[in-house]
C-alpha cells in the first residue's frame, strides 16, 4: 500500500527537507506552501513519486480550510505541520496583523489540520503527525539578559508542545504516532526573512533536523529536540510539569493566606 504525506511549508527549509526525505523513503506527497514557483521546483526534483501541489496561505481561513479538506479526503499516512512565521518582537511592538498571522499559522492551522486528518487515520489504524515547534517553546523562564523577548512566538510553540503531548495520550491506543519537533537555530531562510543575520551563529542543517525527527519517531519520542544530547533533560521537564499538576489541592496554598 502506498504511503502519502502532507507537508505544510514545503517550499523551503525544514519543510522542503521533509518532502525530499519522505520522497526518498517512498512517500507520495501533498506539498503545501504559498510560493508556487518553489513548490513547482520541488515537484520537478522528485521524479520517483507522485507530488500534488497545494498553493495555500495558512494565515487565512480559506487557506486552512482548503488544506483541511485535503486532510479529510485523502488517506494520509503522515501529516507534517511545519509552516511557520517568526515575527520576533516584544508583544507591544507586534502589529496586530502579524500577531494574527502568527497565531493562525502556528496554532489555528495545525489544530484544524490535525482535527481533519485524525478520523481517517484512526479508521485506518495508522498515521503519524509531526508538529514543528522549536526550543524557544522552553525559553519562557529566561530573563531578558539571557534571551530576547518574543512572547507571542514562544507562546505558539509552547502550545504545540502541550497539544502534542496530550494528543499522544489521546491517540496512542489507536495506533497513531504523534511528535513535536523542537529544533534550535537551523540553517534556513527563516531568520533572514525577518531581517536577522545569523550567518555567524552555529546552526543545524534542515536535513539533520528531519533525520532526528524520523529517528525520534522510531525511538518513540513525543518531544524531539535534535540538538539536546542529554534526553533526560526533556524527561525532567515533563516530570516537573506532572509533579506540579499532581500537587494541586482544593485548599488555598499557605503562602496566599493572610499572616
pLDDT above 70: residue 214? yes
Q: What are the structural domain ranges in the chain?
A: 3-256
Strand partners, 32: 54
Q: Are 8 and 82 in contact (CB under 8 A)?
A: yes
Note the pLDDT tens digit of each residue in 2-11. Answer: 899 999 999 9
**Does 209 score more than 80 pLDDT?**
yes
- Which residue from 67, 68, 7 is spatially nearest to 42, judged by alpha carbons? 7
Non-local (6+) Cβ contacts of 85 within 8 A are 59, 98, 101, 102, 105, 106
3-256 fold: Rossmann fold (3.40.50)
Grid look-up 501533498 returns 30
- Strand ranges across the sheet with 78-81: 51-55, 27-33, 3-7, 78-81, 127-132, 176-181, 223-224
Q: 178 or 148, which is more confident? A: 178
Q: Is the separation of the CB atoms in 40 and 53 below 8 Å?
A: yes
Residue 1 above 80 pLDDT? no
Averaged pLDDT for residues 224-229: 97
pLDDT of residue 143: 86
171 backbone dihedrals φ, ψ, rounded to 5°: -110, -10
pLDDT of 246 > 70? The answer is yes
**Phi, psi at 29, each rounded to 5°:** -130, 145
> What is the arithmetic mean of pLDDT over 195-216?
83
Amino acid at each position: 500500500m502506498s504511503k502519502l504525506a502532507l507537508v505544510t511549508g514545503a517550499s523551503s527549509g525544514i519543510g522542503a527537507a521533509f518532502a525530499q526525505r519522505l520522497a526518498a523513503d517512498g512517500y507520495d506527497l501533498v506539498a503545501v506552501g504559498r510560493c508556487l514557483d518553489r513548490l513547482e521546483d520541488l515537484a520537478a526534483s522528485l521524479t520517483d513519486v507522485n507530488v500534488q501541489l497545494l498553493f495555500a496561505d495558512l494565515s487565512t481561513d480559506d487557506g486552512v480550510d482548503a488544506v483541511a479538506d485535503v486532510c479529510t479526503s485523502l488517506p494520509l499516512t503522515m501529516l507534517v505541520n511545519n509552516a511557520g512565521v517568526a515575527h520576533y518582537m516584544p508583544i507591544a511592538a507586534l502589529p496586530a496583523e502579524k500577531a494574527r498571522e502568527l497565531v493562525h499559522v502556528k496554532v489555528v492551522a495545525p489544530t484544524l489540520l490535525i482535527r481533519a486528518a485524525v478520523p481517517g487515520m484512526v479508521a485506518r489504524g495508522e498515521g503519524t503527525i509531526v508538529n514543528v515547534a522549536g526550543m524557544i517553546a522552553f525559553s519562557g523562564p529566561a530573563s531578558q539578559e539571557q534571551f530576547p523577548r518574543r512572547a507571542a512566538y514562544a507562546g505558539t510553540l509552547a502550545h504545540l508542545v502541550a497539544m502534542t503531548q496530550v494528543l499522544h495520550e489521546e491517540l496512542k491506543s489507536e495506533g497513531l504516532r504523534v511528535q513535536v519537533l523542537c529544533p534550535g537555530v537551523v540553517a534556513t531562510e527563516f531568520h533572514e526573512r525577518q531581517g536577522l543575520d545569523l550567518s555567524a551563529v552555529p546552526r543545524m542543517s534542515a536535513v539533520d533536523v528531519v533525520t532526528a525527527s524520523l529517528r525520534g519517531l522510531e525511538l518513540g519520542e513525543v518531544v524531539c529536540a535534535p540538538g539536546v544530547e542529554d534526553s533526560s533533560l526533556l524527561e525532567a521537564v515533563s516530570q516537573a510539569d506532572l509533579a506540579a499538576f499532581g500537587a494541586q489541592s482544593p485548599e488555598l496554598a499557605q503562602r496566599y493566606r493572610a499572616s
